[in-house]
Copies of this chain bind each other. A is one copy, B any other.
Amino acid sequence: VELSFVRWLRDRAVPHRQVPLGIGDDAALLAVSPGHELVVTTDMVMDGVDFRLTEVSPRLVGRKSLAVNLSDIAAMGARSIASFVSVSLPRSGGEQLARELYEGIFELAAEFNTSIAGGDTNSWDGPLVINITAVGEAPIGRAWRRAGARPGDQILVTGDFGGSILGKHLSFSPRLSAAAWLAEYATVHAAMDVSDGLSLDLSRLIDKSGCGAEIDLARVPISGAAVELGRSSGEQAIEHALSDGEDFELVLAVPPMEAQRLLSAQPLDVPLTCIGQFVKDAGLWAIGSDGRREPLSPRGYEHRLE
């Protein structure tokens, strides 16, 4: 990268007590708290696939590319430390684009106390590609996995679902502070974040946990956007809530007594709702308004290789 741009980057990188060495060497150094293990996730997004620069400002694209990674860190019940940003910029206007992207990235990074500690900036004749790797930490053996939900555990979710495409997919807040509170004060048996659709992601969680899940459809928090989208799509709002994805809310498996306590205390900066329970019978089940249980087909965004 041009030296002036690296300098610009380095000047914007906020000092962080866990980053003794950031941008500008062969690698960055991160300090891990004693008794903690590392939590690492990475995500690549491309213009024309995950967003369109013709429709979205670079600042929001940068913001989202970091936010999806921080959402994964939250889904592990971890605390973020540092993020690493690689970009391939289209040759024409690349530096201006990079500055705008990074404005969005730095803004969110400051909000969630993650240091931009390194990366790789390139230009080429192709469309914009961004890869971010986020690094966090959790007390050893305490990170939340997808495996671990037990029959009887309640299914708790943060926030509401559906219609993210109308705006939330760009403006959502990764649930890091909710996760930090829960990791410290609550018992969580399993967790994940909803990126591909509530029902599809929940089906992945139960696959890993070796149990089933019953969703009480009437209790699923449906977003205003899902209702709005339902009006034009002809699908029911609940369908949008179950399958749209990009909600970036947490799904948690919590033992019943604990769930009761959390639901009445509502200790988070986002509403916590019980939408059903984990059960012995494998598979996903829906409880309808008549109280009857029927199999529910997981729906959402399936990534495919061709």
Interface residues of A (CB under 8 A from B): 1-2, 5, 20-21, 24-32, 34, 36-44, 46, 48-49, 72-73, 75-76, 78, 82, 84, 86-89, 91-92, 94-95, 98, 117-127, 129, 131, 133-136, 138, 140, 143, 145-147, 191-193, 208, 302-306
Contacts and interface: CB of A to CB of B under 8 A. Distances in A.
A44 to B, nearest CB: 4
Given A46-B122, A49-B124, A30 B40 contact: yes
A43 B86 contact: yes
Nearest to A47: B126
Given A26-B191, A135-B135, 6 more contacts: A40-B135, A44-B131, A49-B122, A88-B129, A89-B305, A126-B129
Contacts of A44: 86-88, 120, 122, 129, 131
A86 B44 CA distance: 6
A102 to B, nearest CB: 12
Nearest to A3: B302
B38 A304 contact: no
Contact of A143 (B5, B21, B117, B193): B21
Contacts of A129: 44, 46, 88, 126, 129
B131 A86 contact: yes
A226 B107 CA distance: 47
A306 B94 contact: yes
A124 B42 contact: no
B40 A117 contact: yes
